[in-house]
């Protein structure tokens, strides 16, 4: 979800996409651990992840922890500094020598690529490598989520060896932010078109490269030997690349990972939501072992508008929003898990406006009456299939929703899957589900990346969909398109109103929480750094003692 999110009290995610612009707290402590100052350089960072990567292919990877690795391994035209707080949300040139030259009434961008960057195999990075990334994202055989961010690209070409020119069909205020996404990182020009994604070893031009990936078991990430030269172009980026090696172990249980973290057998990992309260009491907050960071990430129930139950059935979708017990669902996320919401844009996101649409205070006689009245005559047989993920708090939340919807005449059948499997299934159009459980954080700081990306029906494809509600309403597609062409305060005002309009009058989703990131690390971690844009632990800046 940046993207789909893996949910637990985690090394990176509980709490964008991720990717946030405003509303981030600055680091809570000024200690070396919180500030990201290195105590040492080198060593191996050991990570447990309950869920495997969805892909390591930059054209396809779209899980938050997959993008976490993309941030450490890929070279982008533009990116964000490896610092916490507001400073970490300010876009800057990375492979580009500076911001592009803009012409043609704001529709043509000319990037100049710095000379000297090299891939992990030693080959030089040129404009052709970025052109290849755009072309691969647009190739229909790839079914890449990147294609939805390229709808307005009229043409693109290299200009000499180090110039990349992109011309848009119309002015797009968010174009530069889009170019910071891993989809558009430099790739070898001969990378094959493989719909299921390329495998490791994966040549890349960032600080690290993925040397090995054994699916559902492990991954090894090592230094790009051609990175961090004392000379330009790397020096000006100041990307620390603290550790020598990053090792992933996949599929351990959350309880096992918690034990391994306590024993210092692993440095970062997903842990049970219920553990947060004890960890806070034992280690304090932001004092070196247990960290809290604010996120612009929301979790929701997607109501499948392609299914017989919810298609053209606005009243039942509204009934679900009235029926779910948000406080009880939020409690399943554990201590400091986040705050309740009934909207798509999280509080703190530019453009957010509080619409007060559905009950946040819990169930009472009035809300039950409203839910029942909306559902009456619209339950269409009264059965729903819920695709849940099989680790905490997924099963418990599914059971709460099952109980809530029983009260309005819907019998919910719960089907549980590994998070990656669930993601693949609900992203495939025609999959027989009615409700799915998912989380989202923006890929870059703009409301477009919540509303248009999650709900624009024109972007639905055969696979790899993030519009899990399969919402495709021509009138609202047009409203989203209109909002995307605006700039400044007009853009933010329009998106704030559109958020309320969609949730009040169409209700394709049932949002329930805006989460916090809660992160537990081993005692061997010497400095911790959280990326406010990726809403994950910044692996480039974490160090070992």
- The three-class DSSP label of residue 102 is strand
Q: What pLDDT does residue 356 have?
A: 95
How is the chain split among helix, strand and coil, in percent rounded to 5?
A: 30, 25, 50
Question: Confidence class of residue 21 from pLDDT cuts 50, 70 and 90?
Answer: very low
Are 205 and 186 in contact by the 8 Å Cβ rule? The answer is yes
Query: Rounded to the nearest 5°, which phi and psi values hold at 40?
Result: -160, 165
| Average pLDDT score over residue span 268-283 | 93
3-state secondary structure 134-203: HHHHHCCCCCCHHHHHCCCEEEEEEECCCEEEEEECCCCCCHHHHCCCHHHCCCCCCCCCCCCCCCCCEC
Q: How many CB atoms lie within 10 A of CB 225?
A: 11
DSSP-assigned beta bridge partners for residue 436: 302, 387
Architecture of the structural domain at 92-184: Alpha-Beta Complex (3.90)
Q: How many residues does this entry show for the chain?
A: 545
Q: Which residues 6+ apart lie within 8 Å of 284 measured at CB? A: 290
What CATH number labels 301-334+362-436+457-512?
3.10.105.10
Q: Above 70 in pLDDT, residue 6? A: no
Mean local confidence (pLDDT), 5-26: 34
Q: Which residues contact 171 (CB under 8 A, 6 or more apart)?
A: 105, 106, 107, 485, 487
The CA distance from 354 to 342, in Å, is 9
What radius of gyration, in Å, describes the C-alpha atoms of the chain?
A: 22
Q: At what angle do helices 474-484 and 448-455 cross, to 10 degrees?
A: 150
User: Is the predicted pLDDT of residue 396 greater than 70, yes or no?
Assistant: yes
Q: Which of helix, strand or coil describes residue 118?
A: strand
- Alpha-carbon dihedral sign for residues 403, 405, 410, 415: negative
Residue ranges of the alpha helices (H) in 219-355? 254-262, 276-283, 314-323, 326-331
SS3 of residue 375 by DSSP = helix
Task: Tell me the pairing of strands 153-159 and 163-168.
Answer: antiparallel
Mean pLDDT score, 238-253: 93
Residue holding tokens 């999280």? 346
Residue 35, phi then psi, degrees to nearest 5: -80, -20
Q: How many CA atoms lie within 13 Å of 508's alpha carbon, on the beta-carbon side? A: 24
The three-state secondary structure class of 15 is coil
Contact indicator for 38, 242 with CB cutoff of 8 Å: yes
Poorest-confidence range of 257-266, 484-493, 526-535? Answer: 526-535
> Looking at the predicted structure, is the pLDDT value of residue 444 above 90?
no
Residue 216 confidence (pLDDT): 94
3-state secondary structure of 214: strand
Every domain of the chain with CATH number 3.90.76.10 lies at 92-184
* CA pair distance 85, 398, nearest whole angstrom: 34
| Sign of the CA dihedral running 71, 72, 73, 74 | positive
Q: How many CB atoms lie within 10 A of CB 531?
A: 28
Over 80: is that where the pLDDT of 254 sits? yes
pLDDT at 99 over 90: yes
Cβ(303)–Cβ(380) below 8 Å = no
Work out the percent of the chain whose per-residue pLDDT is above 70: 92
* Distance in angstroms (rounded) separating the CA atoms of residues 407 and 177: 44
Domain with CATH 3.10.105.10 in the chain: 301-334+362-436+457-512
35 band by pLDDT with thresholds 50, 70 and 90 = very low
Q: Is the pLDDT of residue 405 over 80?
A: yes
Q: 3-class SS at 115?
A: coil
**Residue range(s) in the chain whose domain bears CATH number 3.40.190.10:** 3-77+201-293+517-544
Give the CA dihedral 234, 239, 240, 242, nearest 10 degrees.
Answer: -100
Torsion of CA 319, 322, 327, 330, to 10 degrees: 40
Tokens (6 digits) for 532: 């406010």
Which pLDDT value is given to residue 350? Answer: 85
Residue 30 pLDDT class (50, 70, 90 cuts): very low
Instruction: Give the chain's mean pLDDT.
Output: 90
Q: How far is CA 407 from CA 147, 346, 357, 382, in A?
A: 41, 28, 20, 11
Average pLDDT for 271-281: 93
Q: Identify the CATH class of 3-77+201-293+517-544.
A: alpha beta
- Lowest average pLDDT, out of 78-87, 151-160, 393-402, goes to 78-87
Give the global pTM.
0.80
Distances (CA, A) of 109 to 76, 98, 520: 15, 12, 42
Contact present, 458 and 18 (Cβ < 8 Å): no
Percent of the chain with pLDDT over 90: 80
Alpha carbons 140 and 58: distance in angstroms, whole number: 15
Q: How far, in whole angstroms, is CA 502 from its chain's centroid?
A: 22
For 363-389, what is each residue's pLDDT tens digit?
899 999 999 999 999 999 999 999 999
pLDDT at site 533: 80
Give the residue-averaged pLDDT of 9-30. Answer: 31
pLDDT category, 40, cuts 50, 70, 90?
Answer: low
| pLDDT bucket at 230, cuts 50 / 70 / 90 | low
Reply yes or no on whether the pLDDT at 10 is more than 60: no
């Amino acid at each position: 979800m940046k993207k789909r999110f893996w949910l637990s009290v985690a090394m990176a995610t509980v709490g964008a996409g991720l990717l946030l612009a405003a509303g981030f707290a600055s680091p809570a402590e000024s200690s070396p651990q919180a500030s990201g100052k290195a105590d040492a350089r080198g060593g191996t960072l050991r990570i447990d992840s309950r869920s495997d990567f969805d892909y390591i292919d930059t054209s396809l990877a779209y899980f938050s922890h997959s993008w976490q690795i993309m941030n450490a391994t890929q070279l982008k035209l533009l990116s964000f500094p490896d610092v916490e707080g507001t400073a970490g949300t300010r876009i800057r040139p990375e492979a580009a020598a500076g911001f592009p030259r803009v012409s043609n009434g704001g529709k043509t961008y000319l990037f100049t690529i710095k000379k000297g960057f090299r891939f992990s195999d030693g080959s030089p990075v040129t404009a052709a490598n970025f052109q290849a990334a755009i072309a691969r994202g647009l190739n229909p055989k790839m079914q890449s989520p990147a294609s939805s961010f390229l709808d307005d690209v009229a043409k693109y070409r290299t200009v000499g060896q180090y110039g990349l020119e992109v011309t848009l069909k119309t002015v797009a205020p968010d174009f530069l932010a889009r170019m910071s996404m891993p989809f558009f990182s430099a790739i070898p020009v001969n990378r094959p078109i493989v719909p299921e994604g390329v495998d490791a070893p994966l040549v890349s031009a960032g600080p690290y490269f993925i040397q090995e990936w054994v699916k559902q078991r492990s991954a090894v990430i090592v230094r790009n030997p051609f990175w961090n030269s004392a000379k330009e172009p790397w020096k000006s980026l100041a990307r620390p690349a603290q550790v020598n090696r990053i090792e992933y172990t996949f599929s351990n249980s959350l309880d096992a990972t918690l034990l391994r973290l306590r024993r210092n057998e692993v440095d970062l990992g997903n842990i049970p939501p219920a553990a947060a309260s004890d960890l806070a009491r034992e280690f304090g907050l932001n004092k070196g072992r247990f960290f809290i960071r604010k996120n612009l990430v929301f979790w929701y129930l997607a109501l499948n508008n392609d299914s017989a139950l919810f298609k053209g059935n606005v009243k039942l979708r509204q009934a679900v929003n009235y029926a779910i017990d948000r406080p009880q669902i939020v409690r399943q996320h554990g201590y400091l898990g986040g705050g309740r919401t009934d909207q798509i844009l999280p509080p703190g996101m530019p453009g957010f406006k509080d619409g007060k649409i559905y009950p946040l205070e819990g169930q009472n006689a009035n809300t039950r009456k409203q839910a029942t009245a909306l559902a009456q005559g619209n339950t269409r047989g009264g059965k729903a299939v819920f695709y849940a993920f099989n680790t905490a708090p997924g099963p418990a939340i599914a059971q709460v929703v099952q109980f809530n919807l029983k009260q309005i005449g819907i019998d919910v059948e719960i089907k549980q899957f590994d998070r990656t499997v669930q993601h693949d299934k609900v992203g495939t159009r025609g999959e027989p589900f009615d409700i799915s459980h998912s989380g989202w954080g923006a890929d870059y700081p703009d409301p477009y990346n919540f509303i248009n990306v999650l709900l624009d029906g024109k972007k639905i494809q055969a696979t790899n969909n993030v519009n899990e509600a399969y919402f495709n309403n021509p009138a609202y597609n047009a409203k989203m398109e209109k909002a995307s062409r605006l700039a400044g305060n007009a853009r933010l005002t329009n998106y704030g109103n559109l958020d309320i309009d969609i949730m009040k009058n169409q209700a394709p989703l049932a949002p329930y929480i805006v989460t916090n990131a809660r992160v537990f690390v081993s005692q061997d971690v010497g400095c911790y750094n959280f990326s406010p844009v990726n809403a994950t632990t910044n692996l480039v800046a974490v160090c070992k003692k």
